[in-house]
Amino acid sequence: MDENHQDRTNQKLVITEDTIWLPPSYTNNKPPISPVSKKKSINWGLTDKSFWEWILLLGTLLAALGAIVIPFVVTIVGLNYTQQQAQLSIAASASQHQTDLQIAVDQQRES
């Protein structure tokens, strides 16, 4: 037999009860006590901060925002500069083409 079901002194079977534990309110035939519901709000821990802690928090947030915004601004400025350079290059190329055509016409007249 199983050791858990034997008595140590007599080696007889010990009968165990299969009962479910219930809180005391159920045993007295009383309805269970419901916990008091708390206000459902998030405690961010920002209510008891001093002025300097708020300044540090603001500085940290601005630094984080700058770390996110600055690369985008640099990228947009770089793309704008590249586009302007491309337009100037196209304009210069068109002007050079017109000058080359004019030189070719002048050479044809001379010959």
In a domain, 67, yes or no: yes
In a domain, 108, yes or no: yes
Tell the residue number behind the tokens 């491309």, with chain if given: 86
- The answer to whether 13 and 1 have CB atoms below 8 angstroms apart is yes
CA distance 75 to 92: 26
Domain count, the chain: 1
Residue type, 85: Q
Neighbours of 6 (CB within 10 A): 13
In a domain, 76, yes or no: yes
Mean pLDDT of the 7-31 span: 62
In a domain, 62, yes or no: yes
Average pLDDT of the chain, as a whole number: 80
In a domain, 74, yes or no: yes
Higher pLDDT, 110 or 36: 110
Domain that holds residue 79: 52-111
CA distance 5 to 11: 9
Residues 6+ apart with CB under 8 A from 57: 46, 49
In a domain, 58, yes or no: yes
pTM score of the predicted model: 0.43
Higher pLDDT, 21 or 70: 70
